[in-house]
Structures are given as C-alpha cells and as structure tokens.
Chain A
Amino acid sequence: MPVTERPKPSLVPEYCKGCGRCVSVCVKGCIAFDDEINPATGVVPVVIDLEKCNGCGLCIEACPEPYGLRALDQGEDYELQDPAKLYGARLSEAPEPEDIPAQRIPLPACQPLVIKGNYAAALGALLAGCRHVYGYPITPSTEGAELMSKLLPRLDGVFLQAVSEVATVNHMYGTGGAGLPCLTFTSSPGFSLMLEGISYMAGAEVPAVFINIMRGGPGLGNIAPEQSDIKLACRGLGHGNTHAICLTPSTPQEMLDLTILAFELSFKYRHPVILLADGYLGQMTGKVQLPDHMTKPGIPKWAVYGDLAHRKNLINSIYLDEHDLERHNEYLCGKYEAMQAEARAETFLCEDAELIVVACNTPARAAKGAVQELRHQGLKAGLFRPLTVWPFPVEQLKAHLGPGRRLLVVEASAGQLEDELRLALSHAGLPVPPVAHVRRMGGMLPQQDQIVAAATAILA
C-alpha cells in the first residue's frame, strides 16, 4: 500500500521513560517534558501536541524505546513477535555451550531379580540415569511411581506426584528442557491428557520417556490390558506433525531393557519416546537380569540448564513466520525419517514360515506358544514381533515375505496394529500379502487356542 502521507508519531506513555531525546530533535517544538507521573510505570513520560507536526519522523528515529514513539499509522497495537527475532542474537559473555557427555558406570554382576514389569521399567529408568519422575496415580501403572517415591529420595532424585496428567507432562517439559532425563508412568486415559504437552515437547525437541501401561478403553473402560493406544502413540500424538518412537516390550526383562533404550533414543534424537506396554506387562512378575553398566547422564549442549554455560540456549515451539514453521516441520520430518533406522523386531521360526504371526506386547507371548504348537503339528508358522510399532520394522518383515506367505495379526485392539502394518507395507511399496487377524478387546487377550485355530484354518 503506497504511503500517501508521512506518518505522525504516536506515544505509548507506558513505554516512555521521559529521556527527552525526542524533545531535543523536534524542530517544531511539538514535544515537551511533563511533570505528571505515569501511575503504571512510575516514570514521567513526555507529552506531544501534534498540531504543528509535519510528520518528519525524527522523533520516532530518536526514540530508543522499541514501542515508545511509533508512527501513528502503525497504531498503538503491536503484534506478537517471535521471541528469537524480537531480541535478536542473545547477548551473553558465556562460551558456546558444549555437551557434557553421559558416563558409563560398570555394575557388578548379580543374580536376576524377580519383579513386576512396572518395577522393572522403574529400575531401567534409574539405571539410565533418570532422577526426575512425575506422575499421577492411575491403575495399572501406579507401582512404578510408588517405587520411585521410595527410591529417588535416596538417589538425590525427585519424585513429585502431580495434580493431574496435564501437570505431569508440563513438569516433564520443564525438566526435559533443562536437559535431564525424566519419566512418567501412566495408563491410557492419563496418556490422552498428556498429548498436548507431548506435541509441545516434540515441537520444542525436548526428550522425555512416557511409559504407557495401556488399559481397556475407550473412555473410562477398565483396568485390564488392551493395545488400543497404538493408534494414539503412532498417529495421534497431539496436534501438529508429530511422531515419536514407540517401543513395545513383551516381558518384564524387556520392560527394563527397552526403558533404558528409550532414554538413549530420547536423547539421541532430542525427542519424546513412548514405551507402550499393556496392563498385564505392568503387573506381571518375571525374571529380570540387570545390565552390566548404568549411566550417569551428562548435560546436552542444547539444554537450558540454568547456568552460565547454557545462557545462549532457547527452547521453544513457536514459529510465527509461516516460512520458519514450515522449515521447522521439514526439519522434524527429517528427524522422523532418521528415526526409521530405529525400527526393531524379533523373529521366531520365520525363515521357512508360510504363515507369519505378527504380535507385540502380551499377545506376542500367546502367539509364541501358538507358533510352537503349530510347529508340533507340522505346520510352518513363525512369529514376527515388532519391538517398535513406530517406526514399524517393515524392512525386517520384508525379508520374510514372498510368494505364498501369509500374515496373521494377533492383537488386543480393533486392528490398530494391523493398520500400522498395512500402512508400513504400503509406504514401503510392498504388496500386501493376505492378512488375517485374531482380535480381542475390552481387556480380553487373544488366547493361544484361538490363534492356533485361526492359523490352522489358513494353513491346513
């Protein structure tokens, strides 16, 4: 829009400190010192009389305050600005932050423990160096928080029972932003409440580990195991273009191992990581061998730890300029692409299998039994067990696909795992083999005889 008239100044008294630079530059004598104290600021702003003003703009130039004197046509309002740009390069005498690397501390060999899955995950977190745990009681995940409340004070750590899951995820945003490993135990309804925060953390690139002991839904549902948050964790992590690595253990041992891995991955990618377990895994007791080392976490160079060395860092997820936000999204998508390398799976008798049973979490245990039973009957079945449902281990699965090979997806949800499988095959440009399924819901799990029956119907 062409400027037809030179702009006249407009004073925002709240920002004027009465320095008088504008008074001395005004050739028309429109601006004068005043003696009235501004009640909002306690200083004495100048007064302007625009009658003689010719809009030369010298006073606007002279004003050192970004919002004190502005051209009138800009009005007195101002728009929100990107904090990174508003203040320009952040001035600090501090040196460029450097990574303080994590240290490996060897652990003496010990007898395996026999503990609950929730406890195993809690121990895994402690061994991974996590000393900050927040949580809100929710069955069937609460034992994790309870153990942390007992152990953390003795380890120089903090367990804080938050007032809600909304508070929990934001406590984690704070601790993760400081560059420290943090964790929560929750279950499906609580995880739903955390999604907004997870989206912020993904946008701001803040690491944290969420252990979701999935229970029956939707709504209040029940406290029995289900796998019906796979969709939420893989496709619905709050608003925006978000993804996070989702690990799926199926034994108490894996609850420990994958929790440790979750912390490694969350710091490697500077991103939240979700551990999806189910109600049985949280409550199930099993043999757990501790690793041969533990980790003393360092402080990453991007952290806003609150000391001089990290003074230059800024953590935010706001990009008001569309171009900037698109670039940031492209950067995040690049990160999601890189995370594909973390896809993991375990196979059992898949090499010559004509039917590959795909299952994770507790249903994978019944599926393994079913595969063994089918082999006894001379039927060629194998088990493909994703350890990550996002990214889906499609490369690992590809090796076992081929002419005449079929899939049987066994899950405790209405096809959420199968959806991930089909989507992954489709993205990989692979033909989708015939897929059958055994699905249970509402806290009921697929039973071994059901899987055997479904497989026999296909193979025999």
Chain B
Amino acid sequence: MSATLEYQAKDYKSELKPIWCPGCGDYSVVQGIYRALAAIGRPPHEIAFISGIGCSSRIPGYTTAYGFNTVHGRALPIAQGIKMANPDLLVLAAGGDGDGFSIGGGHLAHLVRRNMDITYIVMDNQIYGLTKGQLSPTSQKGRQTCTSRFGSLEEPVNPLLYMLAYGAHFVAQACPTDLAGMAAIIEEAIRFPGFAFVNIQSPCVTYGEEAQQMKGLKAIQESLKALGHDPADRLAAMDLAQQYGTKMHLGVFYRNPEPPATYEQLVRERQAEQMKNAAPRERILDLFIKK
C-alpha cells in the first residue's frame, strides 16, 4: 500500500448522479469519502465498497470503487467474506442506522470481535428514509413517525456506546456540518489497522425533524479535540458517548494506541504455522486416516 499523490477526489467519483433528496446529508458523506480516499491514494480497483439496503446504501454506486449493494442488514458479513477472499483489498462498508443497528444489529459485535480491517461508516439519520419515514432504532423515544403515530415507546440504541462496549478499537463520529473534519476522520478510520467505526449524523431533509437538520446539529456539535478528550482513554470515551442524542461530539472517541493484530493477520500466521511441517498437498487426506 504505497500512498501516491496520483489520485484526486474526482477520481473516486462515478458517473452516476445520486438520486438522494436535494439537501440530503449523504451528499456530503460521499464527498468526504472521495476526499479521504484521495488522501489515502489507493487506486479505485483496490477498494471494495459494500453496503446494505437503504437510502445511504446507494453510496457505493457513486464511487469508482468496486461496489456491492447487498442484502438488507448484511453488509458486514458480506464485507467480511470479501476481506477473507482478498485481504489486500481496502474494504469499506456503509449503510444506515436501520440497516446497521436494527436488522443487522447482530452482526456488529462479531465483526468487532474478529477485528478485520474493515471501515464501517453508518449514516445515522434516526429514520427509515427509503421506505418513507418509519421509526428507526436510533429514533429518540417519543418520536412520532408513520409506524409510531403516538410516539415511540422504545429507547433509542446508542451506537457509539455499543461499539465501545463491544470492544471496538476505533470509534468516531462525524457530521456534514464539518466536511473537512469528516473527511479527516474517515481517512483516519481507513488508515486504522483493524475494524473502525464511524457514525455520521447525516440529516434526512425529507423525514427528519427540525432539530436534526444541519442547523440543529450545528447547535449541539462539539469537537472532541476542543474538549481536550484523549482518544486513548476508553472510559472517558464511554462517558462522552453517553451524551449521544443530546450532544453531538465530533472526532475520535477512542483509538486503541496499541492496535492488536487483525483477523486476517492472525489467519495468515495460523496458515504459516500449520503449513510449516505439513505433508505435501496430495498427502493431506492422510490426516483423516488413523494410523
């Protein structure tokens, strides 16, 4: 992976014109991704961009990377399959809050456990936009949507706290209110050796509430750097993450200063160790025959 200055943001932009609603936060997210990828400089054919289903899951199509718009909630298992098939690829996964924390919620803990070098970008807008405005797992309690006419009775999930508790080694949050900051965070997440999670507060202009639009988000945003937060301090990160939904902290909550080996590294080590004194391939079935 040699960083070159050959690539510019526009090289990662595909010919397809996004069909998101005008003003959707996801336009900025894809811009942030172009910039981050340009800064990293891997050629587009060495990048695999995997998504689930939802408005935000259209995002791979708007890049020149290899894209895979997969099954609802299954972006992460499919991304893992791709990473195992070709560990040299830069694997990005993306989707929305419903895709990631509702139908796909069960997969998160296990990718964190495996710690494959995959960057997962969630465009969290607290609503199901593609199906026209239903309750999402991050919708705040009491939120009225067309499937919660009298207000939701459920507490929202806190994705940041989830990921920290699962033991993720890189957890960050960004927002289109700060595009340069978002691009930098995405870049840092991709560069992090191991699983990295970036929650992006991406407002839904069509079904989102007033307070969740850019103006409202700007009012509650606070840079973690400005707060003097030390990203190596996991407990402090968890403290700050508890304010998800009331405050919007931007930046890196937690970055493990000593990232452990990734799953694919361990797999390679295991293979090397097992192959050291292994019988020739044509004799491998002998292992099954009792002597």
Q: Mark A residues whose CB is within 8 Å of B.
A: 135-139, 142, 145-146, 149-150, 153, 159, 161, 163-166, 189, 219-220
Contacts and interface: CB of A to CB of B under 8 A. Distances in A.
Contacts of B251: none
22 contacts: A137-B98, A137-B128, A137-B134, A138-B131, A139-B130, A139-B131, A139-B132, A142-B134, A142-B146, A142-B147, A146-B134, A146-B146, A149-B147, A149-B149, A153-B150, A161-B147, A163-B103, A163-B137, A164-B72, A164-B102, A164-B103, A219-B71
A145 B147 contact: yes
Interface in B144-159: 146-150
Q: Which A-B residue pairs are the 3 nearest by beta carbons?
A: A164-B103, A137-B131, A150-B149
Nearest to B139: A161
Given A142-B134, A146-B134, A189-B72, A163 B105 contact: yes
- Counting contact residues on chain B (CB < 8 A from A), the size range is 20 to 34
B105 A149 contact: no
B21 to A, nearest CB: 16
A142 B131 contact: yes
A164 B73 contact: yes
Contacts, number: 50
Given A137-B134, A163-B137, A149 B146 contact: yes
Contact of A137 (B71, B73, B147, B150): B147
Nearest to B131: A137
Contacts of B128: 137
B177 interface: no
The A interface, classified by DSSP as helix, strand, loop or mixed, is mixed
A149 B132 contact: no
A219 to B, nearest CB: 8
A142 B102 contact: no
Contacts of B105: 163
Contacts of A165: 103
Contacts of B150: 153
Contacts of B72: 164, 189
Could you say which of A145, A161, A165, A220 has the most chain B C-beta atoms within 10 Å of its C-beta?
A: A161
A46 B102 CA distance: 49
B69 interface: yes
A166 to B, nearest CB: 8
Interface in B78-118: 98, 102-103, 105
A153 B152 CA distance: 12
Interface in B119-134: 128, 130-132, 134
Given A137-B128, A137-B131, A153 B149 contact: yes
Nearest to A136: B103
Contacts of B98: 137
Interface string B158-176: 0000000000000000000
A14 B71 CA distance: 45
B135 interface: yes
B158 to A, nearest CB: 15
A373 B242 CA distance: 68
B53 interface: yes
B132 A142 contact: yes
